[in-house]
Amino acid sequence: MSKDFFSRVYTIASRIPKGKVATYGQIALLLDEPRNARIVGWAMRKAPVNLNLPCHRVVNKFGEMAPEYVFEDSEIQRTILKSEGIIFKEDGRIDMEKCLWDGK
């Protein structure tokens, strides 16, 4: 995938507001690249720190936290999201009906 693809991913991710989350697949759709959700995940994993992206707001379609190696501990991501008003269900997943960003 090109650097341009990664830049486009970062542009969309930077627009996700506090209190909302987006999925890897949703970002891929917004890029007209519906088959590249995994590459969106890779782009988020490789995002340069100096971009100050809200990478913690990008989750899988089930509302689950990123694997532990991404944030060193999945509780870090959960803690940040909770502090931003993200609602979690009893099973520990994000309430995607209430928290999914509309992409606008």
Q: How confident is the model over 33-45, as pLDDT tens digits? A: 999 999 999 999 8
Q: What is the pLDDT of residue 85?
A: 97
3-state SS record for 79-90: HHHHHCCCCECC
Tell me the domain boundaries of the chain. Answer: 3-99
- Does domain 3-99 match CATH 3.90.79.10? no
For the chain, give the number of residues.
Answer: 104
% of the chain with per-residue pLDDT over 90: 77
Residue-by-residue pLDDT tens, the chain, 104 positions:
667 999 999 999 999 999 999 999 999 999 999 999 999 999 998 888 888 899 999 999 999 998 877 777 778 999 999 999 999 999 999 999 999 999 98
Token pair recorded at residue 6: 């990664």
* Stated pTM of the model: 0.90
Distance CA 96, CA 5 (A): 26
Place of tokens 């782009």: 43
